[in-house]
Amino acid sequence: MLNENGLLVENDEKNAQLKDTNTLITDNSLPDDHLLEEDNQTPVDYTHFQKADFVALIKELSKDDDFKKVERIVKEIKPLFDAIRNAEKNQALDRYLTDGGTKEDFEFKLDEQDQLFDANLKLIRDRKQTHFKQLEDQKNNSLNKKNEILEKLRALVDGEDSPQAFHQFKDLQYQWKNSGPVPVAFLKTLWANYNALIDRFYDHRNIYFELKELDRRKNLEVKKELCVKAEKLSAQPSIQAAVRELNELHNDFRHVGPVPKEDQEPLWQRFKIASDAVYAKRDAFVANLQQEFTKNLELKNAIGEEVSAFAEFNSDRIKDWNEKTKQLLALQTKWDAIGSVPRAKQKEINKKFWTPFKSFFHKKSLFFKKLDEERAKNLKIKEEIVASAVALKESTDWDKTSNQLKVLQTRWKEVGPVPERWREKIYQQFKEACDFFFEQRRGLQKQVDQEQEFNLEKKEAIIAKLNELASQKASSLQEVQSLQAQFNSLGFVPKQSMASTKNRFTEAVNKAINSIENLSEQDRSNATLEMELNTLRTDPQADRKIFHKEQAIRKQMAKIENDMGVLQNNLSFFDRAKNADQMKEEYGQKIKEASEHLKDLKKQLKMLQQSGEALVKPNS
């Protein structure tokens, strides 16, 4: 039972049941020291690790300050690393004996990875030893501080009363609380001496009774606040955080100081009930956690069944291997996301998953090794193609060599991939040989480009003459036709100027024709169409453009014929109308205009058809 100071007295008759608040926390601790903190993490299967993996892992562990976690992992990986080392040692011994050596003379030399592993393992042990030595030194320092405080407190108790004594007393209590933990062997004796001196101080100073009672009431309020905080912890979503905070509250409760005697037991019971609620919730959480682990085991077992099929997979296609790899990695992602399983089943379930997993990737490695051999063959073929291209690049037989290089380019595309480290180099060699030939060929093309520029200058001059005729009003159609014939007789112009040159020429021809006086509209229209057809005949896509224009004219003719039919039909309804004659005359005029337009379109269509026939004849 707690004394009036909120602390345990060694001779308390309830001491065996309640102990102190720290011991209470320990007695209610979880079945497994790391169940809440570590078992929520997915355990790692180290059985497939290689030496390099273990070295990388222990390097990281040597920097970690969580020595309990580090020690647990080291205990798990060191036997596995030693097994690899022993296997290498046995293999080396077998080779040594095969070469004629004796077992007594054999000396196994550790490689760099062995040395790194041992060095980091020693570093971990040294850091751990240093850490716990520092903790022990801190506890010894705290023991010395507490003994000094006890001496000061004893002197204060045995000294004379003074107004400052109570304040000194409170200051010593504060120092005691913040002096830190001490070695367990001295804990009970220190607290017994401390509590005895506290009681003597209050008992020998009755003149400060009122101050004592005031202090106890103040302590009572503080401990009530601690009870309220403890009661709220049962609503804390995180069990780990709740247990951690409850430990801190117990430590604070222990150090607050005495309360009025009549409030000691009820207050402690209230605090204990709040603590028990957290423990009950923790116990339920642990039970649920075990159920969750069992469900996780079922889920992982199902994934293990799926993964077992991958051990038998085989294919001669990269796509199949990549697709299966995606599927297997997706299963691994699901596996990693599931969470922990009961400890007793960890090795068994991990073996069920990782054995076929490693078997699949071993087969995949063999497949790509074979693929690398095929790529080496492809490299030889491409080297032969490069040699052929290099032999042709100086040729001046442009057409023949161009075709030969194109055949080589086709062969190049048909040959499979080469090893990655040669891919860019061999491609550049082939490209340079082809580029050299085609650059030489393009030198001739420059001459063609110069001719086209010259043609452009001549055509620009003809367009200028046509615009000049238009401004001065051309004297005859033959003059315009002559300039058009000259324009059409010239060769190609640069590609980027073709469209604009053609458009400006057509515009200039139309202006020139329209400027001719004493030329009927019908003749003007026919001349314009004839000019357009002459231009079309020189177009590389003449047949397609003439066809499209013919279709456009036929649509116009169909529309006019339809409109004339409607007008003829409407005339029959005008006999009974008051203004029938006027309307008949109006509709008759429309029919006449439509008929003239239709004749004109038929004439244009006939000219187009003749142009089309003229285009076909040379190829017939």
Residues 597, 528: one domain? no
pLDDT at residue 457, rounded to an integer: 86
Residues 466, 445: one domain? yes
Residues 73, 117: one domain? yes
Residues 163, 63: one domain? yes
Domain that holds residue 531: 438-536
Residues 560, 601: one domain? yes
Lowest mean pLDDT among 102-111, 348-357, 406-415, 541-550: 541-550
432 has pLDDT over 50: yes
190 has pLDDT over 70: yes
- On whether residue 188 sits in a domain, the answer given is no
Rounded CA separation 75/263 (Å): 50
Residues 493, 509: one domain? yes
A 10 A CB-CB count for 365 gives: 10
Two tokens, residue 482 = 């002559």
- State the DSSP string of 293-352: HHHHHHHHHHHHHHHHGGGG---S-HHHHHHHHHHHHHHHHHHHHH----GGGHHHHHHH
Rounded CA separation 147/172 (Å): 12
Task: Band the pLDDT of 573: cuts 50, 70, 90.
Answer: low
Helix (H, G, I), strand (E, B) or coil at 8: strand
Please say which residue of 126, 153, 180 terminates a domain.
Answer: 180
Residues 599, 475: one domain? no
Percentage of the chain exceeding pLDDT 90: 5
pLDDT at residue 122, rounded to an integer: 92
Please give the mean pLDDT across all residues of the chain.
Answer: 78
pTM recorded for the entire structure:
0.34
Q: Which of 144, 85, 89 has the alpha carbon at shortest distance from 117?
A: 85
Residues 57, 153: one domain? yes
- Structural domain tally of the chain? 3
Please say which residue of 482, 508, 536 terminates a domain.
Answer: 536
Most confident of 327-331, 466-470, 585-589: 327-331
- On whether residue 486 sits in a domain, the answer given is yes
Cβ 173 vs Cβ 257: under 8 Å: yes
Which carries the bigger pLDDT value, residue 460 or residue 477? 460
Rounded average pLDDT over 145-172: 83
- State the DSSP string of 340-402: ---GGGHHHHHHHHHHHHHHHHHHHHHHHHHHHHHHHHHHHHHHHHHHHHHHHTT---HHHHH
Q: Which of 9, 4, 8, 30 has the alpha carbon at shortest distance from 21?
A: 8
pLDDT at residue 387, rounded to an integer: 92
475 has pLDDT over 90: no
Q: Which of 7, 417, 432 has the alpha carbon at shortest distance from 190?
A: 7
Please say which residue of 475, 507, 536 terminates a domain.
Answer: 536
- On whether residue 410 sits in a domain, the answer given is no
Which carries the bigger pLDDT value, residue 154 or residue 538? 154
Residues 518, 450: one domain? yes
Q: What is the pLDDT of residues 433-451, one digit of tens each?
A: 898 888 877 766 667 777 8
**Length of the chain, please?**
620
The distance in angstroms from the start CA to the end CA of the chain is 123
Residues 116, 166: one domain? yes
Residues 490, 605: one domain? no
Residues 544, 516: one domain? no
Which carries the bigger pLDDT value, residue 612 or residue 174? 174
